[in-house]
């Protein structure tokens, strides 16, 4: 029997209401494998509001708090303060938000949480559009992708603008740890979760979450498409700790982006020229990442530390 | 018990400290700022061992204390005007999650145009969110009511959020002597929160959830029922508070010289103090007038108003805001409460003091005069004219 | 007024079917009303849509609880329960099924019709074999079985309102019209069943607020599935890839390390079959 390469514990219960082949469902499952049961998760309006199943049921084996779409960052600051005040420093606090709830409407609260050094993990699971409401464009939708609000009809050619670079925005706040994670690489995924769990301070995960209905592919292809995203350079895997960037899946050569695009109906309308432009952008992004890896951390203090919550105890430095 | 000359804002801060709040969220807005500044001092000098969250908006301020309260912590935040409006979404969350957040609100006008004057438009616009609403008349009442609110809000029969409001500048920046109870007294009156139905780390549960219509109706109805239990809870809490401190603020609708009164003015907040003096003057002149203070706006003291109405011919209501309906909000609520009662006195609305206009004794006397006149209009805007040069009073 | 209730899976086109029927009926001179069940939609999860057709403006804005016609886009849903709710004696049940309509599981007083819309949809290249879009074929069958709408109106509606492959969809509707099979009610009349209905728990306190503590494992999601994984354990290397990548936590490993599919929770996404390195997992159509 093969050794298990990821923890056996299951903190996402079956019976949940994700679409078949949902990348976001697998993301939560792998995340909680790495975090364990003493975790509190705050979830804004997003696919996971529904996936977690209606009252009186819950799909998580951990404590779960609902919050409105734009305030996940503030919610986890409050939860952190509460568990510290209640003398439960071993608890891991997680915000688990979609790309719209993070990169668009939730950006202010995310920035606030990072800036005030909340000791918590903020997760953006990125299915690259407002999927819970039915595939509307978000700031994280990639250029060229079809959505219901960037239709391919008449002059419409999918989303005209480029995807918002959430990692750059987050890194400008100097988190203690930030990483890109992809459920198609479960071992790398869980290792990053376990690494981050041991570092107190504001942490951020950008998780790739393929969406069969929204990206127009059949449900069995979720893992393959995730793998292609990384191996074409569309979604490189890396981590940034103390300002040091490290690519965690090294590629001697990138696969052609076309292998990734051609698997998804949302890109079906793209012309050769449009595909070449995307290829050029992906190559440029990959080269920039490799340069940043070789340059090393920027000068100056990179880890301002954990939020100095005033209180009877010194600022809490937890293990999770 | 020590007497300290302090502002209404500092009365909020002292009350939060005495309540031993565990999590505070702060975002500045005039004229609330001195509340959170004083709390920052208390936290920094060690008098208040609380976690003080510096948030980036009022929306996040309320979200963070709602989440902290959902985990069982005792929490406090404060805001005013635009900040309260930005919190609106979270006000519903606090009530729906049944978290006993207590918040100080300094009543201030809503822009545009910008104004920082006293005005109830901000809190009146939140009356339908499931929060308990107290309107304070004095700095003492601010401090005492915040303490009472923690008891009421955290009561297992209630578990609803509560706001204690004070008039911009008339209380927020007015200093007057305040009895500050000892921490021993407050600890005995207000023990640590016994959290019920909260999230416990390590225990799988989802707070918030989503529901079908059947459960949704049930949860809304539960909030309504909990609101119904506020009045008896307030009575018990106030009795206990009076026993310990000797101070009784008179329940949801304290009255003044209403016995044998023909006309009664219903007031809120600081205008009440001025109106009391006017009642004395008019009584000396032989007018049979009285007043009733709407101390509690949510839940609305329907029964107390009905028993008042049983012996009164005319009721005037002073509205320090206007809601662009048939009358101002307070008058509309008074009428609605009395419509199904056995006595239906005439109810006339007086809009006054909005945007920080002074509510002078003369202005209040004129309200009584209109109320006593041949045909009091439904709504009278009392202070449209610029103030006269001479001193009122 | 005719009240029609559609049952399908998210992604199959039940809501579109209801709307398309409304458009067709409008072209036919009727006053239609169509709306989906106001809930969350998930691909593969059961969905409901409602359509009313009348000669004058419809004056009801409520769900359809006493339908004249129930249309089922996916035979597996007949197992899920609730589909037949409120269908009165003499009502019509139309199911996308290969089966003889007389064999459809329905109360004996109900008229039954079946059409193999899946085969028609696949033949015309509508949707994918795992999730064929059967709505136009079913609507053709509905036109034939009920007369609620005329076929030519349906075809005109498809031309106007179906953006993708209108010609194939029109052909599917025509095929459905021709292929429907009917079975009469077995019993002419029986007293309509009295339904208890869901009554609001009057005065019931939910003292804990919206705090949910029941595991979702109590919810079966097997009805979402059209295909099921079958593992050839003889060739299984116990690499546990299928377990690792299952988004639904529907595969567990037994004491020997072999995967066991929890069929009550498997949604049939097919990831395990694709990811299995030795290819020992096959996706098999549900019967």
Name the closest residue on chain A to residue B56, using Cα atoms: A112
Contacts B97 to C, Cβ<8 Å: 209-210
Question: Stretch A87-102: mean pLDDT, rounded?
Answer: 97
Report how far residue B223's alpha carbon sits from residue B228's, in angstroms, rounded to the nearest whole number.
9
pLDDT digits (tens, 9 = 90+) for C261-277: 999 999 999 999 999 99
The closest alpha carbon to C1, from C35, C31, C45, C38, belongs to C31
Q: Identify the structural domains of chain B with CATH numbers, from first to last.
A: 2-245 (3.40.50.970), 255-389 (3.40.50.920)
Report how far residue A259's alpha carbon sits from residue A277's, in angstroms, rounded to the nearest whole number.
15
**A318, B52 Cβ separation under 8 angstroms:** no
Question: Stretch B309-336: mean pLDDT, rounded?
Answer: 97
Whether A129 and chain B come into contact, CB under 8 Å, resolves to: no
| Average pLDDT over chain C, rounded to an integer | 87
Minimum-distance CB partner of A78 among B49, B63, B204: B63
Q: E strand or H helix at B100, and its extent?
A: none
Task: Say what the pLDDT of residue C11 is.
Answer: 77
Nearest-10 Cα torsion for B335, B338, B340, B341: -170
Token look-up 């509460």 returns: A82
Count other Cβ atoms within 10 Å, centred on residue A275.
17
pLDDT digits (tens, 9 = 90+) for C193-215: 333 333 333 334 445 789 998 99
Whether C72 has a pLDDT exceeding 70, the answer reads yes
Contacts B196 to C, Cβ<8 Å: 208
Whether A35 has a pLDDT exceeding 70, the answer reads yes
Whether B206 and chain A come into contact, CB under 8 Å, resolves to: yes
Question: Stretch A24-52: mean pLDDT, rounded?
Answer: 98
Task: Say what the pLDDT of residue A26 is.
Answer: 98
Question: Stretch A247-262: mean pLDDT, rounded?
Answer: 97
Whether A73 and chain B come into contact, CB under 8 Å, resolves to: yes
The closest alpha carbon to A305, from A123, A168, A177, A166, belongs to A177
Q: How confident is the model at residue A318 (pLDDT cuts 50, 70, 90)?
A: very low
Whether A42 and chain B come into contact, CB under 8 Å, resolves to: yes
**B240, B107 Cβ separation under 8 angstroms:** no
Minimum-distance CB partner of B211 among A54, A60, A84: A54
Task: Say what the pLDDT of residue A310 is.
Answer: 44
Minimum-distance CB partner of A223 among C268, C271, C283: C271
Whether C163 and chain B come into contact, CB under 8 Å, resolves to: no
Report how far residue A174's alpha carbon sits from residue A199's, in angstroms, rounded to the nearest whole number.
14
Angle at the Cα of B185 from the Cα atoms of B181 and B190, rounded to 5 degrees: 105
Q: How confident is the model at residue C81 (pLDDT cuts 50, 70, 90)?
A: confident
Task: Say what the pLDDT of residue B392 is.
Answer: 45
**CA distances to A56, B100, C202 from B93, in Å:** 18, 11, 24
Contacts C238 to A, Cβ<8 Å: 1-2
Question: Stretch C126-142: mean pLDDT, rounded?
Answer: 90
Mutate which of A35, A70, A77 to test chain B, going by most B C-beta atoms within 10 A? A77
Is C224–A20 a contact, with Cβ atoms under 8 angstroms apart? yes
Whether A152 and chain C come into contact, CB under 8 Å, resolves to: no
Q: Write down the domain spans for chain A.
A: 23-295
DSSP string, B115-164: --S--SHHHHTTTTSS-EEEE-SSHHHHHHHHHHHHHHHHSTTT---EEE
**B6, B139 Cβ separation under 8 angstroms:** yes
Distance from the Cα of A57 to chain C's closest Cα (Å) equals 4
Task: Say what the pLDDT of residue C188 is.
Answer: 53
Three-state DSSP string of chain C = CEEEEEEEEECCCHHHHHHHHHHHHHHCCCEEEEEECCCCCCECCEEEEEEEEECCCCCCCCCCCCCCEEEECCCCHHHHCCCCCCCCCCCEEEEECCCCHHHCCCCCCCEEEEECHHHHHHHCCCECCCCECCHHHHHHHHHHHHCCCCHHHHHHHHHHHCCCCHHHHHHHHHHHHHHCEEECCCCCCCCCCCCCCCCCCCCCCCCCCCEECEEHHHCCCHHHCCEEEEECHHHCCCCCHHHHHCCCCCEEECCCCCEEECCCCCCCCCHHHHHCCCCCEEEEECC
The closest alpha carbon to C9, from C267, C283, C282, belongs to C267
Is A20–C257 a contact, with Cβ atoms under 8 angstroms apart? no
Q: Write down the domain spans for chain C.
A: 2-187, 216-285
Distance from the Cα of B247 to chain A's closest Cα (Å) equals 32
Is B71–A84 a contact, with Cβ atoms under 8 angstroms apart? no
Question: Stretch A253-258: mean pLDDT, rounded?
Answer: 98
The β-bridge partners of B164 are B104, B134
**B365, B353 Cβ separation under 8 angstroms:** no
Whether C189 has a pLDDT exceeding 70, the answer reads no
Whether B64 and chain A come into contact, CB under 8 Å, resolves to: yes
What share of chain A has pLDDT > 70, as a percent?
Answer: 92
Distance from the Cα of C212 to chain B's closest Cα (Å) equals 5
Contacts C201 to B, Cβ<8 Å: 218
Minimum-distance CB partner of A21 among C214, C218, C269: C269
Angle at the Cα of B376 from the Cα atoms of B373 and B378, rounded to 5 degrees: 170
Contacts A40 to B, Cβ<8 Å: 71, 199, 201
Task: Say what the pLDDT of residue A3 is.
Answer: 84
Whether B224 and chain C come into contact, CB under 8 Å, resolves to: no
**B64, B57 Cβ separation under 8 angstroms:** no
CATH 3.30.70.20, domain C216-285, yes or no = yes
Is B218–C201 a contact, with Cβ atoms under 8 angstroms apart? yes
Is A64–B207 a contact, with Cβ atoms under 8 angstroms apart? yes
Task: Say what the pLDDT of residue C209 is.
Answer: 85
Token look-up 């979760």 returns: A193
Chains touching chain C through at least 3 C-beta pairs below 8 angstroms are A, B
Token look-up 């219509």 returns: B213
Task: Say what the pLDDT of residue C200 is.
Answer: 34
Beta-carbon contacts below 8 Å between A and C: 138
- Name residues 166-185 of chain A within 8 A of B (Cβ): none
Task: Say what the pLDDT of residue C195 is.
Answer: 36
Question: Stretch B215-227: mean pLDDT, rounded?
Answer: 94
DSSP string, chain A: -PPPSS-----B-TT--PPTT-HHHHHHHHHHHHH-SSEEEEE-SSHHHHHT-STTEESBSSEEEE--TT-HHHHHHHHHHHHHHTT-TT-EEEEEEEHIIIIITTHHHHHHHHHTT-SSEEEEEE-SSBTTTTSB--TTSPTT--BTTB-SSTT--S--SPPP-HHHHHHTT--SEEEEE-TTSHHHHHHHHHHHHTS-S-EEEEEE---HHHHT--GGGHHHHHHHHHHTTSS--EEEETTEEEESS--SSPPPHHHHHTT-GGGTT--HHHHHHHHHHHHHHHHHHHHHHHH-PPSS-----S----SSSPPP----
Q: Are strands C281-285 and C227-231 parallel, antiparallel or unpaired?
A: antiparallel
Whether C190 has a pLDDT exceeding 70, the answer reads no
Structure pTM?
0.88
Minimum-distance CB partner of A17 among C45, C130, C237: C45
Contacts C253 to A, Cβ<8 Å: 8
Report how far residue B365's alpha carbon sits from residue B347's, in angstroms, rounded to the nearest whole number.
17
Task: Say what the pLDDT of residue C59 is.
Answer: 84
The closest alpha carbon to B319, from B311, B330, B305, belongs to B330
Count other Cβ atoms within 10 Å, centred on residue A60.
28
Token look-up 């029997």 returns: A1
Distance from the Cα of C90 to chain A's closest Cα (Å) equals 35
Is A50–C217 a contact, with Cβ atoms under 8 angstroms apart? no
- Longest Cα–Cα distance of chain B, Å, equals 69
| Average pLDDT over chain B, rounded to an integer | 96
Mutate which of C260, C269, C276 to test chain A, going by most A C-beta atoms within 10 A? C269
Task: Say what the pLDDT of residue B325 is.
Answer: 94
Is B98–C209 a contact, with Cβ atoms under 8 angstroms apart? yes
Name the closest residue on chain A to residue B22, using Cα atoms: A85
Structure tokens that stand for C4 in this block: 């029609």
Q: Which of A29-38, B1-10, B242-251, B294-303 has the lowest mean pLDDT?
A: B1-10
Minimum-distance CB partner of B222 among C39, C40, C205: C205
CATH 3.40.920.10, domain C2-187, yes or no = yes
Question: Stretch C125-139: mean pLDDT, rounded?
Answer: 89
Contacts B210 to C, Cβ<8 Å: 40
Q: Which of A19-23, B240-244, B268-272, C176-180 has the lowest mean pLDDT?
A: C176-180
Whether A60 and chain B come into contact, CB under 8 Å, resolves to: yes
pLDDT digits (tens, 9 = 90+) for B77-123: 999 999 999 999 999 999 999 999 999 999 999 999 999 999 999 99
Complex prediction ipTM: 0.96
Report how far residue C145's alpha carbon sits from residue C70's, in angstroms, rounded to the nearest whole number.
12
Is A55–C267 a contact, with Cβ atoms under 8 angstroms apart? no
Mutate which of C216, C281, C283 to test chain A, going by most A C-beta atoms within 10 A? C216
Q: How confident is the model at residue B391 (pLDDT cuts 50, 70, 90)?
A: very low
Name the closest residue on chain C to residue A52, using Cα atoms: C216
Which CATH number is associated with domain A23-295? 3.40.50.970
Contacts A4 to C, Cβ<8 Å: 240
pLDDT digits (tens, 9 = 90+) for C212-241: 989 999 999 988 898 999 999 999 999 999
Backbone phi, psi, residue B353, to 5° = 80, 10
Mutate which of B58, B65, B71, B217 to test chain A, going by most A C-beta atoms within 10 A? B71
Residues 6+ positions from C146 with CB-CB distance below 8 Å: C2, C69, C92, C94
Is C257–A57 a contact, with Cβ atoms under 8 angstroms apart? no
Q: How confident is the model at residue A111 (pLDDT cuts 50, 70, 90)?
A: very high
Name the closest residue on chain A to residue C247, using Cα atoms: A26
Cα end-to-end span (Å), chain A: 31
Question: Stretch A292-304: mean pLDDT, rounded?
Answer: 68
Minimum-distance CB partner of A37 among B61, B75, B202: B202
């Amino acid at each position: 029997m093969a050794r298990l390469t990821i923890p056996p514990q299951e903190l996402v219960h079956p019976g949940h209401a994700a679409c078949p082949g949902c990348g976001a469902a697998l993301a939560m499952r792998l995340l909680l494998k790495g975090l364990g049961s003493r975790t509190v998760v705050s979830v804004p309006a997003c696919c996971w509001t529904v996936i977690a199943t209606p009252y009186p049921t819950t799909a998580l084996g951990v404590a779960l708090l609902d919050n409105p779409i734009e305030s996940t960052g503030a919610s986890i600051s409050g939860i952190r303060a509460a568990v510290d005040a209640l003398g439960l420093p071993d608890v891991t606090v997680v915000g688990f938000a979609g790309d719209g709830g993070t990169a668009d409407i939730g950006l202010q609260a995310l920035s606030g949480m990072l800036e005030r050094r909340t000791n918590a993990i903020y997760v953006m699971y990125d299915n690259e559009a407002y999927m819970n409401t039915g595939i509307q464009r978000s700031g994280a939708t990639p250029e060229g992708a079809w959505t219901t609000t960037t239709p391919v009809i008449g002059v419409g050619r999918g989303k005209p603008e480029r995807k918002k670079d959430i990692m750059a925005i987050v890194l400008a706040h100097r988190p203690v740890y930030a990483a890109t994670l992809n459920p198609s690489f479960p071992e790398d995924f869980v290792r990053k979760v376990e690494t981050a769990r041991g570092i107190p301070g504001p942490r951020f995960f950008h998780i790739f979450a393929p969406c069969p209905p929204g990206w127009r592919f059949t449900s069995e292809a979720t893992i393959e498409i995730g793998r292609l995203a990384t191996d074409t350079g569309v979604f490189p895997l890396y981590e940034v700790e103390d300002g040091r960037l490290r690519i965690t899946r090294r590629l001697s050569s990138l696969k052609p982006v076309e292998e990734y695009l051609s698997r998804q109906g949302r890109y079906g309308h793209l012309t050769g020229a449009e595909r070449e432009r995307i290829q050029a952008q992906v190559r440029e992004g990959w080269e920039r990442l490799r340069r940043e890896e070789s340059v090393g951390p920027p000068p100056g203090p990179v880890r301002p530390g954990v939020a100095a919550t005033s209180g009877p105890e010194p600022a809490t430095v937890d293990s999770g | 018990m020590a007497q300290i000359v302090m502002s209404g804002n500092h009365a909020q801060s002292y009350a939060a400290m005495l309540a031993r709040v565990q999590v505070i969220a702060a975002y500045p807005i005039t004229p609330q700022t001195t509340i959170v500044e004083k709390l920052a001092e208390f936290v920094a000098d060690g008098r208040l061992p609380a976690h003080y969250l510096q948030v980036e908006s009022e929306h996040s301020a309320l979200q963070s204390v709602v989440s902290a309260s959902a985990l069982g912590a005792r929490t406090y935040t404060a805001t005013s005007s635009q900040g309260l409006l930005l919190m609106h979404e979270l006000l519903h969350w606090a009530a729906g999650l049944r978290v006993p957040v207590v918040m100080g609100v300094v009543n201030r006008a809503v822009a545009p145009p910008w104004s920082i004057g006293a005005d109830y438009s901000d809190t009146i616009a939140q009356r339908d969110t499931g929060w308990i609403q107290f309107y304070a008349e004095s700095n003492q009442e601010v401090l005492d009511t915040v303490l009472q609110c923690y008891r009421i809000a955290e009561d297992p029969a209630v578990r609803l959020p509560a706001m204690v409001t004070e008039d911009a500048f008339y209380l927020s920046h007015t200093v007057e002597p305040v009895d500050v109870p000892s921490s021993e007294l407050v600890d005995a009156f207000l023990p640590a929160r016994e959290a019920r139905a909260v999230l416990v780390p390590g225990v799988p549960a989802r707070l918030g959830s989503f529901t079908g219509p059947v459960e949704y109706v049930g949860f809304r109805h539960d909030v309504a029922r909990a609101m119904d239990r506020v009045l008896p809870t307030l009575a018990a809490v106030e009795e206990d508070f009076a026993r310990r401190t000797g101070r009784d603020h008179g329940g949801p609708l304290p009255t003044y010289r209403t016995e044998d009164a023909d006309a009664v003015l219903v007031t809120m907040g600081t205008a009440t103090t001025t109106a009391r003096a006017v009642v004395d003057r008019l009584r000396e002149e032989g007018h049979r007038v009285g007043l009733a203070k709407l101390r509690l706006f949510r839940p609305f003291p329907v029964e107390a108003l009905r028993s008042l109405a049983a012996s009164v011919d005319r009721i005037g209501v002073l509205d320090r805001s206007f809601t662009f309906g048939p009358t101002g909000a307070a008058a509309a609520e008074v009428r609605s409460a009395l419509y199904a009662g056995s006595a239906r006195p005439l109810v006339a609305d007086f809009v006054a003091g909005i945007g920080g206009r002074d509510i002078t004794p003369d202005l209040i006397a004129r309200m009584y005069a209109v109320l006593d006149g041949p045909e009091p209009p439904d709504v009278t805007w009392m202070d449209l004219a610029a103030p006269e040069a001479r001193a009122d009073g | 007024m005719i009240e029609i209730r559609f049952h399908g899976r998210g992604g199959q086109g039940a809501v579109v079917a209801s709307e398309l029927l409304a458009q067709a009926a409008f072209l036919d001179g009727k006053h239609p009303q169509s709306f989906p069940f106001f809930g969350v939609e998930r691909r593969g999860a059961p969905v409901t849509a409602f359509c009313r057709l009348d000669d004058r403006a419809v004056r009801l804005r409520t769900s359809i609880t006493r339908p004249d016609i129930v249309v089922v886009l996916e035979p597996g849903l007949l197992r899920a329960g609730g589909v037949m709710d409120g269908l009165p004696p003499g009502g019509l049940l139309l199911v996308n099924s290969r089966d003889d309509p007389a064999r459809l599981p329905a109360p004996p007083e109900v008229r039954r019709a079946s059409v193999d819309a899946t085969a028609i949809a696949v033949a015309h290249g509508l949707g994918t074999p795992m999730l064929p879009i059967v709505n136009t074929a079913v609507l053709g069958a509905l036109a034939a079985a009920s007369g609620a709408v005329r076929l030519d109106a349906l075809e005109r509606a498809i031309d106007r309102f179906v953006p993708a492959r209108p010609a194939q969809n029109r052909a599917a509707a025509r095929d459905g019209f021709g292929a429907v099979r009917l079975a009469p009610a077995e019993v002419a009349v029986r007293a309509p069943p009295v339904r208890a209905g869901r009554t609001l728990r009057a005065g019931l306190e939910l003292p804990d607020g919206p705090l949910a503590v029941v595991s979702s494992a109590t919810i079966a999601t097997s009805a979402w599935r059209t295909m099921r994984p079958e593992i050839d354990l003889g060739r299984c290397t116990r690499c546990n890839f299928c377990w690792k990548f299952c988004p639904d936590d529907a595969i567990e490993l037994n004491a020997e390390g072999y995967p066991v599919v929890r069929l009550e929770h498997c949604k049939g996404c097919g990831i395990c079959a694709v990811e299995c390195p030795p290819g020992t997992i096959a996706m098999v159509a549900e019967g």
